[in-house]
Structure formats: C-alpha cells, structure tokens
C-alpha cells in the first residue's frame, strides 16, 4: 500500500492559484498577475475600495488612486491591474488602478507613436538635465539641449507652455521616451531658410528681429534666416558700437544689400532704408554758412563735428585758431562739446565736409598793420630761436621775427643766442608787415642809434687799438674793439713771418694790439694790421695808401661763405708782399 506524502501549506496555495489561473470567469477574464481586468466597487470603507473582480475573494484599491472620489460608489466599474491573487498577509487579491491606468496609457502611446513621430504636449516640470513633458498622459523626457536651437540656461520660462515635439527614442523595457523640440525648430528653419534664399532680392525691405549683437554689427533673424547688418550700414553718421542703435529682440526694417545663395549669407542695411542726407548736403550746408554742431570724435589731426543726423565734418587743427598754436584737438575740445563752425568746403561724392572754428571770429592778422605800423617801436618777449633769427611774441599768437643781420650794428651775429635769451623782454622796430603770409619783420639794432657815425671819428686810420680775438677764419681773424665793433686782421697782416694757419698764431679771446689801416663808414668795415704796429711812419703811410686803393672785406653776413672773403682781403693787400726779415 502506497503512502501519500503530506503537502506543504505554501505548495497547496500555489497549486490552487495555478489551477484557478486557467479557469475562466463569467466576465471572460483570466487571473494572470500583471493583466488588466475589470473590477466593480462592492463597498467603500474609509480609504479602502473593496473591488469584485469575479474571483473567490475581493481585492482592495486605495481611494487615492481615483482622480474623482465622488464617482466611487458600489457598482462603479473600472480597470485594475492584478498584482497578486492572494496576499500572504491579508489573503485578499492585490489590485492597482493606478498601474492599470499607466499601462493602458503606455500601450496607447506605443500604438499611436513611433520614433520620428510628432505630437503636441505640455511641459509639466523641470528635472535634472531637462524637462518632463505630458505625452497623452505619459511622461516624456526633454533634454535641456533639445529645448531650443540656442542653449537655454534658464528652463523655468518653458514650464506650463505647449509645444510640438518630435519622438527621438522609445524604450519599452525601461518605459522611457526621449523627445526633442530643437529638431523640429531646425527642420522648420531649414525649410524657411531655403525658401528665403530663393525669394530674397536685392533692394527689398524685410522685417526682422535683432538676434545677436557683436562689435562689428548685428545678426538679424528674418524668420528662418540670419542676415548680417554691419555697423557701417546702420547709420549715415558715426556710431562706436551697434548697441547705440539696437538691442536684442528689437524689430527692425532692413534692406537686402546682397544675397550669396551658395554660402547662404545675406548682407543687410539699415541706413539704406532712409534717404541719404549727403545727396542734398551742398544745398543744406552751403560754403560759408555758419552752423552749430557737436563734437563726436577727436583725432590728433582734428575734430569731427556732427552738424546734422548722419552728417559729420572735420575741423583740422590748423582751422582751430587764427593765433593759437594747437598741437592736438583734445587741447581745445572735448567729446560732446557744442561748437559753432563755418563750412569751408563740401565734397558730396566722397562724403567729406571741411569745417573751421577760427572763421567764426575776426582774423587779428587783418588789422595787424593798424596795430603794428612799419617804423613803430614795439616790445615783446623772446619766444624761440632759429638758426637765422629770433621770434618775439608781440601778443598771443602774433610773433615778429628779428633776423640775425638786424641784431647788431657792429658785430656779425652767427646765432641769436649770442645777443638774446629766451624769455627776455626786448624793444624792436617794425621793419615790414605781411598779413597775407602772417609775418612781421623786426629790427633790434634799429631800436638804437647807429654807432658808425661816431666810429669813423673814434677809430682813426693809423691809430693803434687793443681788442680781443672774437672769431678765427682761414683768411684771418676778427678782433672785437671797443663798443662791440669788429675789425678784420688778414692772415697776411698777423706777423712779419709767414703764417700758414691763423689758429697757429692767434687764439680766440687773446688780447692783441693792431693798427687801423682803413675805415670804410659806408661799408661799415675796419681793416687792421698787427704787423703794422711796429712799422715806421713811411711804411704805415705806404700801407695806408695801398689799402685805400682796394676795398676792405666786410664782416660776413648770415649765410655768406667765408672762403670768398679771403680772396677779397688778398686783393686788398696784394701789393704788400712780406717776407721774413724784410723791413725790420
């Protein structure tokens, strides 16, 4: 007789569940965990909804799983998911309405959409890395990089808004859906861009929005195609930065300047949508007219003045003042200053206007002859030196010049610093006035009496004088006598011995005695001879007669070559050939 082994309680329940799982019910459902079946409310106790699924025991669904609790009454039917047939703790069937609803919605999405499908959804909330979008009741993930064509740093403004999205990836195993809004926008933009490139024409006006601003211009969105609006095409006038005229998001009307369909580039113009003010500039600002403008830019060579919107003229530094010496425009003006100017010239073709500030005032050189007539005595300070003279400031911006030849009656002046010092107050006589060239010639020596009237009397021929060597040349030496008068000792008159080089016999500053051999008052010349100091009266007389018959060279004038004087003095003493030992 066979002995039957006892069956474990758990095994019996499992066997029963397996047996019943294949048994149909009156509603035609099969009790398989994970399946969706119909349930009916039998009773509601607190938060528990007792549900009849046609099984031997009822199940419980939480009231919180119903969107509208008011409809949950006995007899109300709904879909539920079978979790477990018998719960080990309660012995009741485990059910979930929420899980059933989610599965139904998920299955419906899978039936409706595939990868690449487009749907309309609402953005519900923000999560790490992106946003959650309601896709027919199913949560779809929208990565932050797929929100828009431009990276969106703040995703908050998108929450609650409805958009079209494209399904990128569906994972049935993970119940995960990845979507994109960016791909749809890019696709739409590509289609619009292609259409725009085909239809855009030079010269037409289009409305767009400022998308981005750079140092060199702004990019304008023409609803699908970006065009470049260069800074030089924004205004007929001068602007330093595009932000002075535009801001991001601003609507603007622009003209199509050029279309490069191969490179997909469009050049736009803003100033071209308004008339060019330069077309009538000559009539608006005739030469000689006086206008008020504003300083908009400063350069080393001048200032740019805006005299009308988009119209600028240049005031060169030479046109700032009649008298002041302007080194830089910034020394006189600041950006933003309002100034009065006079139109000097207009070049409409090259869009250039020359302006002047000094022309708004009287030119002091027009009346300088009245203030400084020729022959009048004036005073001023030594302002500057040149190699040929000194500039004397008579009034602010008005200088007169004293040439070196007009500095002394008696001396040859090589450089004005020998007589004058910068800042020194001097008196001079006006010799000439030239308003056109803006020049005044002055004489320093003319402000004093010509000493040569007395020199001829004071320095008699044959007399012995003392002086200091002031200058040395190849042909002789100049000796400064009393009253600053210079006499010339020719090289042949330095010594009884033959002198090859003047500097070998005389030194600058050396005191010497010499005999006057000739005085020419008209030519202002004095001829001296050192070797004649010890001559006899007969020798002196003979030398004087010979010297009188030949001209004595003058003291060199400014710029006159010294070499030419040597020949002149040789001619003066040509008849006197001295050799060592003679006439002792």
Q: Which has the closest alpha carbon to 490: 515, 460, 510?
A: 515
Q: Is 121 a domain residue?
A: yes
Percent of the chain residues topping a pLDDT of 70: 86
Mark which of 447, 476, 503 sits at the end of a domain: 447
* Residue 44 structure tokens: 């509601």
User: Do 556 and 482 reside in the same domain of the chain?
Assistant: yes
Boundary (domain end) residue, out of 329, 357, 385: 357
Do 373 and 484 sit in the same domain of this protein? no
Report the run of H or E that residue 338 belongs to, with start and end.
strand 338-347
Q: What is the DSSP string of 226-295?
A: EEEEEGGGT-SS--S-GGGT--TT-EEEEEEEEEETTTTEEEEESGGGS--GGGGHHHHS-TT-EEEEEE
Instruction: Return d(Cα 132, Cα 82) in angstroms, integer.
Output: 29
Q: Is residue 138 part of a domain?
A: yes
pLDDT in tens, 66-121: 988 888 899 999 999 888 777 656 667 888 888 898 888 898 888 889 999 999 99
- What pLDDT, in 10s, does the model give residues 528-544? 999 888 877 777 777 66
Instruction: Please give the angle made by the CA atoms of 199, 203 and 209, to the nearest 5 degrees.
Output: 70
What's the pLDDT band for 579 if we cut at 50, 70, 90? Answer: very low
Whole-number pLDDT of residue 150: 81
In a domain, 195, yes or no: no
Report pLDDT digits (tens) over 127-148.
Answer: 999 999 999 888 999 999 999 9
pTM for the whole structure: 0.42
**Considering the domain boundaries, does residue 352 fall inside one?**
yes
Residue 553 binned pLDDT confidence (cut-offs 50, 70, 90):
very low
* 28 in any annotated domain: no
Q: Verify that 456 and 550 share a domain, yes or no.
A: yes
Does 254 reside within a domain? yes
558 and 470 in a common domain: yes
Q: Are residues 208 and 260 in the same domain?
A: yes
CATH code where residue 495 lies: 2.40.50.140
- Would you give the distance in Å from CA 463 to the centre of its chain? 77
Give the end of a domain, one of 238, 273, 308. 273
Do 344 and 411 sit in the same domain of this protein?
no
User: What number is the average pLDDT over the span 175-184?
Assistant: 91
Q: Based on the fold, state whether residues 179 and 243 are members of the same structural domain.
A: no
Same domain, 208 and 221: yes
Mean pLDDT of 551-567: 38
Average pLDDT, the chain: 82
- Domain check: are 474 and 527 in the same one? yes
Predicted local confidence at residue 209, as pLDDT: 93
pLDDT of residue 547: 58
Residues 181, 205 within the same domain: no
The pLDDT, as a whole number, for residue 162 is 93
Domain count, the chain: 6
**Out of 15-24, 121-130, 557-566, least confident range:** 557-566
Token pair recorded at residue 272: 């071209």
The parent domain of residue 340 ranges over 279-357
pLDDT per position as a tens digit, 223-242: 878 899 999 899 887 788 99
Residue 402 forms part of a structural domain: yes
101/86 Cα distance (integer angstroms)? 22
**Whether residue 237 is found in the same domain as residue 347:** no
């Amino acid at each position: 007789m066979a002995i039957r082994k006892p069956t474990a309680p758990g095994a019996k329940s499992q066997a029963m569940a397996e047996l019943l799982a294949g048994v149909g019910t009156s509603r035609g459902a099969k009790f398989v965990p994970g399946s969706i079946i119909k349930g009916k409310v039998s009773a509601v106790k607190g938060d528990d909804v007792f549900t009849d699924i046609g099984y031997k025991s009822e199940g419980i669904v939480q009231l919180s799983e119903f969107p509208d609790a008011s409809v949950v009454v006995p007899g109300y039917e709904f879909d539920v998911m079978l979790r477990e047939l018998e719960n080990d703790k309660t012995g009741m069937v485990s059910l979930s309405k929420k899980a059933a609803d989610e599965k139904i919605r998920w299955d419906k999405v899978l039936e409706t959409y595939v990868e690449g499908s487009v749907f309309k959804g609402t953005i519900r909330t923000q999560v790490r890395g992106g946003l959650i979008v309601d896709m027919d009741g199913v949560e779809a993930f929208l990565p932050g990089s797929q929100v828009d064509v431009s990276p969106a740093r703040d995703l908050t403004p998108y929450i609650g808004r409805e958009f079209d999205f494209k399904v990128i990836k569906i994972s049935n195993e993970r119940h995960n859906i990845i979507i994109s809004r960016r791909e749809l926008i890019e696709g739409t933009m590509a289609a619009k861009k292609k259409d725009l490139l085909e239809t855009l024409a030079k010269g037409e006006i289009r409305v767009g929005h400022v998308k981005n601003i750079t140092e060199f211009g702004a990019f304008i969105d023409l609803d699908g195609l970006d065009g470049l609006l260069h800074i030089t095409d924004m205004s007929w006038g001068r602007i330093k930065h595009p932000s002075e005229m535009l801001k991001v998001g601003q609507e603007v009307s622009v003209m199509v300047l050029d279309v490069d369909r191969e490179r997909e580039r469009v050049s736009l113009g803003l100033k071209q949508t308004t008339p060019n003010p330069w077309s009538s500039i000559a009539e608006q600002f005739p030469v000689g007219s006086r206008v008020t403008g504003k300083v908009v830019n400063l350069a080393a060579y001048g200032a740019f003045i805006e005299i009308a919107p988009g119209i600028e003229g240049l005031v060169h530094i030479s046109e700032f003042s009649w008298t002041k010496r302007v080194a830089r425009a910034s020394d006189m003006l600041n950006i933003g200053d309002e100034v009065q100017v006079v139109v000097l010239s207009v070049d409409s073709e090259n869009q250039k206007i020359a302006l002047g500030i000094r022309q708004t005032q009287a030119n002091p050189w027009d009346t300088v002859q009245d203030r400084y007539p020729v022959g009048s005595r004036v005073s001023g300070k030594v302002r500057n030196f040149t190699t040929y003279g000194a500039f004397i400031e008579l009034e602010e911006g008005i200088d007169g010049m004293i040439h070196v030849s007009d500095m002394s009656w008696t001396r040859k002046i090589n450089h004005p610093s020998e007589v004058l010092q910068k800042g020194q107050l001097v008196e001079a006589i006006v010799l000439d006035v030239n308003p056109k060239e803006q020049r005044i010639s002055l004489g320093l020596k003319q402000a004093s009496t010509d000493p040569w009237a007395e020199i001829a009397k004071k320095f008699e021929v044959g007399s012995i004088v003392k002086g200091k060597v002031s200058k040395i040349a190849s042909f002789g030496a100049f000796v400064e006598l009393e009253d600053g008068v210079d006499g010339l000792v020719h090289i042949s008159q330095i010594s009884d011995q033959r002198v090859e080089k003047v500097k070998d016999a005389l030194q600058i500053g050396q005191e010497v005695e010499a005999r006057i051999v000739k005085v020419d008052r008209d030519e202002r010349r004095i001829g001296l001879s050192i070797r004649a100091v010890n001559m006899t009266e007969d020798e002196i007389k003979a030398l004087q007669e010979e010297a009188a018959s030949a001209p004595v060279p003058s003291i060199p004038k400014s710029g006159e070559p010294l070499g030419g004087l040597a020949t002149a003095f040789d001619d003066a003493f040509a008849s006197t050939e001295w050799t060592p030992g003679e006439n002792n």
